[in-house]
Structure 1
Amino acid sequence: MPKVTFVQVDGARTVLDVPAGTSVMRGAVAAGVPGIVAECGGNLMCATCHVYTGDGADDRFPAVADEEDELLDCTAEPRRDNSRLSCQLGLTDAMDELVVHVPGCQT
């Protein structure tokens, strides 16, 4: 089961075991991780599950698709090269650990 570490702006960390087949966003919402609002419930219609991925994450997930790319231009916190919508980050059994940084604001 993949471990996902959510790092808050103040450095606080929440480490979760999230089942493979689950998105990073769903794992966060189910555990009440602060800062992952997910207003649209993972339907790729908002940008309130924005995260900054840690080193090496780009190799583990598909590239940003056009719809996600458009929404990333609407995030409350600045978009970075490692910005992703956590609803689009599906976890697999091949993933050991993942670190994501939660922006200070989502709305």
Structure 2
Amino acid sequence: MSTITFNLTDGTRRDIETDPETSVMRAALSNGVTGIVGECGGQAMCATCHVYVHDEYVDQLPDMSEDEEEMLEVTSSERDERRSRLGCQITAGGPLDRIEVDVPATQV
């Protein structure tokens, strides 16, 4: 199992245990995490699963695709050049058996 910690804007922390290879977005939607919308279903075609990855995990993430880069240009909440990623493009498991993200104030 992998653990994804979601830090919500109200100060709440949600630890979600999930199967490896589950995206951050899918884990959030499956567990009712407030603030993750996932309108496109994980195709990197919207920015409604935008998260801020905690610094200690950023360098463990795979490189960003051109599609993800483009979608991050239109996020509702301000983009952080180092920490902003789409939750649909981050998969738990492997080197990321644990990851912590902050959920932005708005997605749409």
Q: What TM-score, normalized to structure 1?
A: 0.94
CA contact 2:42–2:88 (8 Å) conserved in 1: yes
* Corresponding residue for residue 14 of structure 1: 14
Task: Return the alpha-carbon distance in structure 1 between the equivalents of residues 64 and 94 of structure 2.
Answer: 21
Q: CA RMSD of the aligned region, Å? A: 1.0
Specify the SS of the correspondent of 2:93: coil
What's the % identity of the aligned pairs? 44
Q: After the TM superposition, which of the residue ranges 58-67 and 39-48 deviates more from structure 2?
A: 58-67
Letter in 1 for 2:3: K
Task: Return the alpha-carbon distance in structure 1 between the equivalents of residues 79 and 55 of structure 2.
Answer: 16
How far did 1:103 drift?
0.2
* Corresponding residue for residue 45 of structure 1: 45
Specify the SS of the correspondent of 1:68: helix
Q: How many residues align?
A: 107
* Corresponding residue for residue 107 of structure 2: 106
Task: Return the alpha-carbon distance in structure 1 between the equivalents of residues 55 and 78 of structure 2.
Answer: 18
Specify the SS of the correspondent of 2:64: coil
* Corresponding residue for residue 55 of structure 1: 55
* Corresponding residue for residue 92 of structure 1: 93
How far did 1:63 drift?
1.4
Task: Return the alpha-carbon distance in structure 2 between the equivalents of residues 47 and 69 of structure 1.
Answer: 10
* Corresponding residue for residue 78 of structure 1: 78
Task: Return the alpha-carbon distance in structure 2 between the equivalents of residues 36 and 60 of structure 1.
Answer: 22
Structure 2: runs of 5+ lacking an equivalent = none
How far did 1:56 drift?
1.9
Specify the SS of the correspondent of 2:27: helix
Specify the SS of the correspondent of 2:99: strand
How far did 1:82 drift?
0.4
Task: Return the alpha-carbon distance in structure 1 between the equivalents of residues 67 and 106 of structure 2.
Answer: 21
Specify the SS of the correspondent of 2:22: coil
Q: After the TM superposition, which of the residue ranges 35-44 and 94-103 deviates more from structure 2?
A: 94-103
